[in-house]
Amino acid sequence: MMLAPLPDKYYLTHARELFSFLEQHCDHLLGPEHQQYLRRFTSLSDDSQCLLVRMLARKPRFIRRDSLNYAEIDNLDSAVTELADNDYVNTVMVDDWCEFSPHLTKAELLACLEPTPIQVKKSTSKAELVSIVTQTLRGDEPSLFAIRDAWLARRQQTIVDYLLFLYFGDLNNRLQKFAMRDLGVLKTRQRSSTTVARFSSIEQAEHAYKLHQLRRDYHANPNQVREETIDYLHANARGEISANTEKVKDKLILQVAHDLVKNDHQRAIELLQQSDHPTALEKWVRTRYQNEDRELLRSELEHLKTTSLSAEKKLFIEDFYQRKFEGKRTSVYTDMLREAGRELSIDECYLGNVEEGVLQRYRQLGNQAWFTENKLWHVIFGFTLWPILFDGKGAQHTEFDFMPIALRDPEFYRNNQSKIEQQLSILDHPELAVRSFTRLAANQYGTPTGLFRWSATLLDSLIPCLQHAPPNALANVVREMARNYEQSKSGYPDLMVLDQQGLRFEEVKAPGDVLRPNQLLAIERLRKAGAAVDICQVAWATDPNQIYAVVDIETTGGKRGGNAITEIAVVRVKNQSVISEWSTLVNPGRPIPAHITRLTGINNQMVASAPNFGEVATELEQQLDGAVFVAHNVGFDYGFIKAAFDHLGRKFKKPKYCTVQHARKAFPGLRSYSLGNLTASLDIDLKNAHRALDDARATAHLLTLIQAELV
């Protein structure tokens, strides 16, 4: 689809839209310096406004002058001068030297050192050069004037970051979102009649902004900002904070405490007390148990058990107390796994994708099964309460904010109880719910919700869930989510299965997997609501009836971008015997380079009358149906074929098996694991290397040797 071109100076229109929003809706969050920045902007000439916005859209604060080539700016020098006069930009100053030097190239850094007696090798890494330059030079040396003058630096960056933070809610530069919206690439929620600023006071906004800054800076350089971060968190432990900012604060506390706990557990404990997150409580308890008076901790846990806590916190404290102070041998998570409802043997080719293996196994048994996890419940919740969450004139921050503000209110259910109960009643009538939800999906498809992503298969699991779920079960779950969305939005079982016994949900666990607290709570929530839930314990096995489709392709080049398939072969193997072979040349739609022809023997004349990939795609799918995708260096062949299906707009996903990786396990110590060397080492016949069918036959032989060795 061709996108319509954006109008001239579209970015300036976007900046004016953003600044106007701040002046209209966030005036109470702006200090004098922010108001002055916006006021001065409106007084600039169009050229200067255009140049400033172009510079704001770039991530680095330092920008080369010669990169500022914009046809719509009539007088660049005049615009630079006006921006400098108003302190929006300036040349790189001496005080900028340490921050600026990493933006220079290696050649420029070496040039900086030429007037000095310091000798460095050209092979010195850039990071080492930056360190040498910043330690050796102050930035005011005459030899650096020309380099500094070749750059411009944005000024008042903290003010700019704060203004963008008020609009977008984070520190990422997201100005490009406006252009994506205008191009139709990014759908937004149309602004409602009530626009609400993210923060109620400038103190709350500045506190949130500082926490975001500290988290960003701590991630980049923890040692440099650790003490500042700890001091700020202690000094502002009771600072006014929004729900979204609470998450940022919790993550920051957990990150700093994790780094502190080994060398200064007392400070880590003090810091963890400032967070209400369940993980912080768990770390606080475990750290104290390892380092402090355990009887004192026991007494405090007994007190905590009598207080009002979230379900996840209560679960952890009860479990920890029983194991550490009452002699219980195993955790509640282990107990639940041991009481798993069913066991299933799955072919080991699904290692790393165990849920897909269980899905395929159930389908082989004639059952219906879907991967649902959290998304199904987010869809049911969103569809059921759509009129309350999205159809009204409720408040929102900006059109780029998708999560309904109402869900951040802990009183959401209480404030909307009668409306919510009215909407829940539709779930008592499955066929009515199916018709209503199908109509809603057709009318609202693609509308951002913040709850789930739309897909063409969205209704595939939703409809059978509505039709077969026990009475009241769905309404009970949605009601609980409405009461506390944040604590009940995750942990739901991986699969939904429909068989002769009815509808059930399954949490799939491979050997070594553990049950997480939110998963245990979600299982209990569903069971309490009336749904059937099992834990499926998987055992790895080699299924003799599993079909392995050994694939080899030839291409016009080694990289997917700009190259295409010229030949495909599939050799199907079952129980270590070849059961079928299939191959075809493919017209790549582009010339085959001479060096590729020399390698493969496939030339342009041979593929001129061959089918293109679209013409063989369906037959290839049939060859791969129900089989494990096998190749020597599987990422190469799988990647090219998936890209070709993607180009057709068709989904491609198969379990993969790499004969390179498994040959290393089966035959350790060989000099090389290339197909050519393996065929020589293992006496495998390979007559025409780099032709798809011959390579696939050799790889199939290799597969049977690997399987025989690894049994």
Q: What is the pLDDT of residues 648-706, one digit of tens each?
A: 999 898 889 999 999 999 999 998 999 999 999 999 999 888 999 999 999 999 999 99
Whole-angstrom distance, CA of residue 496 vs CA of residue 212: 39
pLDDT for res 193: 59
Nearest to 627 by CA among 684, 543, 555: 543
pLDDT for res 423: 97
Q: What is the pLDDT of residues 572-581, one digit of tens each?
A: 999 889 999 9
The burial class, CB within 10 Å (0-12 / 13-18 / 19+), for 45 is middle
Query: Would you call 28 a catalytic residue per the annotation?
Result: no
Q: What is the pLDDT of residues 423-440, one digit of tens each?
A: 999 999 999 999 999 999
pLDDT for res 217: 94
Q: What is the pLDDT of residues 385-406, one digit of tens each?
A: 999 998 766 678 899 988 888 8
Residue 574: strand pairing partners: 547, 577
Which residues, at least 6 apart from 588, have a Cβ–Cβ distance to it below 8 Å?
A: 555, 556, 563, 564, 565, 566, 607
Whole-angstrom distance, CA of residue 617 vs CA of residue 178: 38
Nearest to 2 by CA among 188, 186, 183, 187: 183
Backbone angles phi, psi at 238, to 5 degrees: -110, 20
Nearest to 325 by CA among 346, 350, 305: 305
Q: Name the strands in the sheet holding 368-371, side by side, starting at the edge strand that comes first in the sequence.
A: 342-347, 533-541, 502-509, 495-499, 368-371
Alpha helices in 373-513 (DSSP H): 373-384, 386, 412-415, 417-424, 430-444, 458-468, 473-483, 485-488
Whole-angstrom distance, CA of residue 535 vs CA of residue 539: 13
Whole-angstrom distance, CA of residue 124 vs CA of residue 703: 46
- Taken in order 462, 466, 470, 474, is the CA torsion positive or negative? positive
Contact 506, 457 (CB under 8 A): no
Backbone angles phi, psi at 91, to 5 degrees: -70, 165
Both tokens of 555, joined, read: 């291409």
Q: Which amino acid is at 206?
A: E
Tell me how crowded residue 403 is: count the other CB atoms within 10 A of its CB.
17
pLDDT for res 373: 95
Topology given in CATH for the domain delimited by 547-710: Nucleotidyltransferase; domain 5 (3.30.420)
Whole-angstrom distance, CA of residue 414 vs CA of residue 441: 28
pLDDT above 90: residue 711: no
Residue with structure tokens 């299906």? 645
Between 364 and 242, the more confident residue is 364
Tell me how crowded residue 265 is: count the other CB atoms within 10 A of its CB.
16
pLDDT for res 2: 58
Q: Would you list the domain boundaries of the chain?
A: 10-183, 202-334, 342-541, 547-710
Q: What angle do CA 216, 222, 228 make, to 5 degrees?
A: 85
| Residue count (the chain) | 711
Q: What is the pairing mode between strands 533-541 and 547-555? A: unpaired
pLDDT for res 385: 96
Query: To 10 degrees, the CA torsion angle through 259, 276, 279, 217?
Result: -40
Helix (H) or strand (E) holding 30: none
Supply the pTM of this predicted model: 0.82
CA distances from 551 to 258, 644, 661 (A): 46, 15, 16
Separation of first and last alpha carbons in the chain: 52
Question: Long-range contacts: 37-44, Cβ < 8 Å, 24+?
Answer: 37/156, 37/159, 37/160, 37/163, 38/163, 40/86, 40/88, 44/82, 44/83, 44/86
Q: What is the pLDDT of residues 166-210, one digit of tens each?
A: 999 999 888 999 999 999 888 887 766 578 899 999 999 999 999
Per annotation, catalytic residue among 277, 378, 690, 701: 690
Contact 702, 684 (CB under 8 A): yes
The mean pLDDT value for 106-115 works out to 91
